[in-house]
Amino acid sequence: MKIILAAPRGFCAGVNMAIECLELALRAFGRPVYVYHEIVHNKHVVDTFRERGAVFVDDLADVPEGANLLFSAHGVSPEIRRVARQRRLHAIDATCPLVTKVHLEALRFARAGYTIVLIGHEGHDEVIGTMGEAPEAILLVETAEDVDRLQLPPGTRLAYLTQTTLSVDDANRIIDRLRDRFPQIEGPPKEDICYATQNRQEAVRLLAADADVVLVLGSQNSSNSQRLRELAIDSGVPAHLIDGAHDIDDAWFQGQETVLVTAGASAPESVVQQCVDFLRARYGATVEQRAVRDEQVHFPLPRGLREVPAR
C-alpha cells in the first residue's frame, strides 16, 4: 500500500484560534467553561475538551448566570449575544474572522435595503448565526432548484452570500443560477468560502486521480469534511469520512492500493497520524506527502485572552 498524504489538510487558522481560546479560557478561569455549541465540529476535539472541563450547551438557559462562556468558531446571532448579556455571562468570542466577515456583509446589505440570498445548509450553526443578523431580509437556498423556486417582487434589490465551508463547485453552480435568474444580483466584494476550505478541496481534486481510495479524517457533522468526501466520490474514487483509525474497515482495501489521506479543517493532525500509523502497521504502507498549497494564515486571539500566558 502507498499513502498519499495531502497538504494542506486539517486545522485551519479559525479552528486553531478557537481551540487556543478554549485552552486558555480553561487555564485562566478553571473548570467549567461553557461553550455555546461544539467549539468545532469534531468528535475527538469535543470529547477531549469535555474531559478537561468544557461544557457544551445548545441553550444558554443551561449556563448558570455569571458563568464563563465561549462562542464557538461558527458564530452566533445577535439574539444569543443579547441573552448572554442578560444572564451576565462572561462571554469570549471565538468566532472565526471569516465567518464574522459574512455577518458584517449581511448587516451591510440588509441596512442598504437588499434581500439577501444565503447559500448554505439549513440547520448548520454558521447559517443560523448569519441568518440571525437580519432574519427579515435573508432567504436560504441549498440547491440550484431552490433558486428556481424563489418568488420575489419586481424591483427587489438582491445580494447573495455563502456559508464559508461549502463545496466551491456546488456554490458556483448555485451562484450561476442566481445570476441567470437575477442578472442584477450583487455578491460580496470577496468570496465567502474560506481559503482553507478551498485549499483542501483543491488538494483532493488534484490528488484523487492518483488514488484508489480516499480517507477523509473528520466528523459526520463537519460540513467541510463532508464536502471533501463528496468531491472525491465525484472524481470517481471511493471515499470514506472517518473520525479516526478505529473506523477503518479492512473491506475497503486489498492491500495494494494507493490511499489518499486528508483531513477536514476541524480534524486534528494527531488523528491523521494515528490513521497513517494504522495503515503502516497493517499493510506495510509507505507514505508520500504532496503539497498543493502553502498556508501561512494566523488569526489573533480575542482581546480578553491575549494576556493569558500560552502553554
Q: What pLDDT is stored for residue 303 in this prediction?
A: 77
Q: What pLDDT is stored for residue 307 in this prediction?
A: 66
Q: What pLDDT is stored for residue 190 in this prediction?
A: 85
Tell me the pTM. Answer: 0.90
Q: Which residues of the chain have pLDDT under 50?
A: none
Q: What pLDDT is stored for residue 256 in this prediction?
A: 77
Point out the catalytic residue in the list 23, 38, 105, 126: 126
- Catalytic, 126? Answer yes
To the nearest 10°, report the CA torsion of 120, 9, 196, 302. 100
Q: What pLDDT is stored for residue 302 in this prediction?
A: 87
Please name each of the domains of the chain with its CATH number.
2-11+195-291 (3.40.1010.20), 13-96+300-305 (3.40.50.11270), 98-181 (3.40.1010.20)
